[in-house]
């Protein structure tokens, strides 16, 4: 009946208006209605006052922040900390021995059943740089960056399945419906570059994260704050060129006319989603010029391609890293990279901890090292916070799916301890915070939660995670829920 959902929305609006104006208590109801509507629009956040016309208008942070932008590298599937950063020689001694029951009692695993065997580290480790942080031979290039980054070795989560754990890491809640961290950041700080989206998402590895687009969704925030996903192969954004016979002036006039109508609509109904629509039309118009330049890595010199290991036109994590640098160089606020394929269960060759996992390591090693170096040489690392991590860690035990041996070596999902690293943006370089026990099962100190990590990211941007709130369904919401403590130990 209603082919266009907007028509349907309109009909609903009219019927409510008819009710208000024509019912017996018309006048009183109208007064009450406008009063309530007033409350509602104000409760949509104090910041709305400033952003009544442009939701992306830059806003000052709560306090002067060290970082202005974030590049978040998420390894979807959860890479093994025990083969990359958390060196556990004791675990090697226990290799192939049965896991003691004390580590299994009261625990639930995604796939481990019965009594699994312990699995020693499947990588050689060395201490690197001045800081002496352990980085395995799987990351020969990144090993040289040990003195540039801060490792968090005792991160823990409470979700052992990919989708909820990814949601937890990115939205602060394992359930659907909350805004992602990039949305919170653009809501809190706005976007500096008028011609580009404030929150861009790039994916690699052949699949998007298990949790779907909700990991960069805007949840209950106005949808203008959601991440803009760019295609990883071919044109990053489709339909940028004007259709034949339509020149840019005509297009501009068309969009102006549409936006005028939308603005009237907004005046009447005060729906923030109308603002989103206006902003998107304008953004799309400006992106026609800005995007082809920024999102095109063909123009980069050869030595940059060599540095990153990029092949233009081919979807890869390396290309995305280079794009991320180009985007933050243009003051894009939050760039979110997802790389899929890290779920090393040992169920097939690609997911084997000693085969496919090493290929994944090779794919990211040069690219993420290059990203850090390139940001550094351009002075961008001063103001750009780079975060790397998965959604959880991997078990010190070898996975035994259905209590049988898996065909390849692999590890199950581990929630108690995993490693993340951060760099730039006011993070103390060359530090390690947190330590796990002899087999990497529990953190013994420096234990930090997912909410702590989020609080720290916001802190580096100059935002107090307890003050960044949005009123929804009768109460203010935060990214960090009612938890989170800034990890002062890794702040310069």
User: Residues interacting with another protein, by CB under 8 A?
Assistant: 58-66, 140-141, 192-195, 303, 306-307, 309, 330-331, 349, 352, 354-356, 358-359, 362, 366, 369-370, 373-374, 376-379, 382, 408, 428, 431, 433, 445-446, 462, 488-489, 491-492
**Which of 73, 74, 77, 72 lies closest to 393, judged by CA?**
77
The smaller minimum CB distance to another protein, of residues 115 and 194, is found at 194
The smaller minimum CB distance to another protein, of residues 234 and 379, is found at 379
d(CA 258, CA 343) in angstroms, rounded, equals 46
Shortest distance (Å) from residue 58 CB to another protein: 6
Q: Which element (helix H / strand E) includes 156?
A: strand 149-156
Shortest distance (Å) from residue 378 CB to another protein: 5
The smaller minimum CB distance to another protein, of residues 368 and 439, is found at 368
**Which of 411, 360, 377 lies closest to 122, judged by CA?**
411
d(CA 172, CA 175) in angstroms, rounded, equals 9
Shortest distance (Å) from residue 218 CB to another protein: 23
The smaller minimum CB distance to another protein, of residues 61 and 389, is found at 61
Shortest distance (Å) from residue 195 CB to another protein: 8
**Which of 420, 340, 365, 341 lies closest to 387, judged by CA?**
420
Buried b / exposed e over 52-61, threshold 16 CB at 10 Å, is eebbbebeeb
- CB contact at 8 A, 490 and 429: no
Shortest distance (Å) from residue 487 CB to another protein: 8
Shortest distance (Å) from residue 217 CB to another protein: 27
Shortest distance (Å) from residue 165 CB to another protein: 22
Backbone angles phi, psi at 98, to 5 degrees: -70, 145
Shortest distance (Å) from residue 291 CB to another protein: 16
The smaller minimum CB distance to another protein, of residues 69 and 265, is found at 69
Shortest distance (Å) from residue 368 CB to another protein: 11
The smaller minimum CB distance to another protein, of residues 23 and 445, is found at 445
The smaller minimum CB distance to another protein, of residues 112 and 375, is found at 375
* DSSP assignments along 318-361, one per residue: HHHHHHHHHHHHTT-SEEEEEEE-----SSSGGG-TTTHHHHHH
Backbone angles phi, psi at 121, to 5 degrees: -60, 135
- CB contact at 8 A, 184 and 468: yes
The smaller minimum CB distance to another protein, of residues 154 and 209, is found at 154
The smaller minimum CB distance to another protein, of residues 179 and 446, is found at 446
- CB contact at 8 A, 146 and 298: no
* DSSP assignments along 307-322, one per residue: HHT--TTS--HHHHHH
Cβ neighbours, 10 Å, residue 124: 10
Shortest distance (Å) from residue 410 CB to another protein: 13
The smaller minimum CB distance to another protein, of residues 398 and 449, is found at 449
CA 351 to chain centre: 23
The smaller minimum CB distance to another protein, of residues 59 and 175, is found at 59
SS3 percent helix, strand, coil of the chain, rounded to 5, is 40, 20, 45
| HSE (side-chain half, CA atoms, 13 Å) at 416 | 19
Shortest distance (Å) from residue 358 CB to another protein: 5
Backbone angles phi, psi at 348, to 5 degrees: -145, 180
Buried b / exposed e over 198-208, threshold 16 CB at 10 Å, is bbbbbbbbeeb
């Amino acid at each position: 009946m209603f082919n266009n959902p907007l028509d349907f929305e309109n009909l609903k609006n009219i019927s409510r208006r008819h009710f208000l104006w024509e019912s017996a208590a018309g006048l009183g109801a109208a007064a009450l209605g406008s009063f309530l509507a007033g409350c509602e629009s104000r409760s949509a956040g104090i910041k709305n006052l400033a952003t009544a016309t442009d939701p992306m208008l830059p806003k000052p942070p709560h306090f002067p922040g060290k970082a202005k932008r974030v590049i978040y590298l998420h390894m979807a599937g959860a890479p093994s900390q025990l083969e990359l950063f958390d060196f556990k020689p004791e675990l090697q001694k226990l290799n192939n021995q049965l896991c003691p029951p004390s580590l299994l009692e009261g625990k639930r695993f995604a796939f481990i059943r019965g009594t699994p065997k312990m699995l020693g580290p499947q990588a050689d480790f060395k201490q690197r740089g001045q800081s002496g942080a352990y980085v395995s031979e799987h990351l020969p290039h990144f090993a040289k960056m040990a003195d540039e980054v801060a490792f968090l070795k005792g991160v823990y989560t409470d979700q052992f399945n990919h989708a909820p754990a990814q949601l937890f890491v990115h939205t602060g809640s394992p359930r659907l419906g909350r805004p992602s961290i990039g949305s919170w950041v653009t809501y809190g700080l706005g976007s500096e570059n008028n011609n580009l989206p404030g929150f861009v998402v790039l994916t690699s590895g052949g699949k998007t994260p298990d949790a779907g687009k909700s990991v960069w969704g805007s949840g209950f925030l106005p949808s203008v704050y959601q991440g803009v996903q760019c295609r990883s192969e071919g044109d990053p954004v489709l339909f940028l060129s004007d259709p034949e016979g339509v020149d840019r002036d005509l297009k501009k006039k068309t969009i102006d006319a549409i936006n005028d109508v939308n603005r009237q609509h907004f005046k009447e109904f005060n729906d923030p989603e109308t603002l989103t629509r206006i902003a998107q039309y304008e953004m799309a118009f400006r992106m026609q010029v800005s995007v082809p330049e920024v999102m095109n890595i063909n123009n980069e010199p050869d030595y940059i391609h060599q540095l990153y290991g990029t092949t233009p036109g081919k979807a890869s994590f390396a290309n995305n890293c280079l794009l991320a640098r180009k985007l933050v160089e243009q003051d894009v606020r939050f760039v979110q990279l997802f790389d899929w394929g890290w779920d090393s269960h040992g169920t097939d060759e690609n997911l084997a901890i000693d085969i496919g996992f090493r290929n994944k390591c090779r794919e990211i090693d040069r690219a993420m090292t290059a990203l850090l170096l390139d940001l550094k040489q351009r002075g961008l690392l001063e103001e750009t916070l780079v975060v790397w991590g998965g959604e959880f860690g991997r078990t010190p035990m070898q996975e035994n799916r259905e209590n049988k041996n898996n065909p390849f070596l692999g590890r199950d999902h581990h929630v108690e301890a995993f490693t993340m690293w951060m760099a730039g943006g006011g993070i103390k370089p060359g530090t390690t915070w947190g330590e796990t026990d002899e087999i990497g099962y529990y953190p013994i100190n420096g234990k930090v939660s997912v909410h702590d990590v989020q609080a720290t990211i916001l802190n580096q941007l100059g935002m107090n995670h307890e003050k960044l709130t949005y009123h929804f369904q009768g109460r203010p919401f935060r990214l960090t829920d009612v938890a989170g403590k800034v990890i002062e130990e890794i702040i310069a």
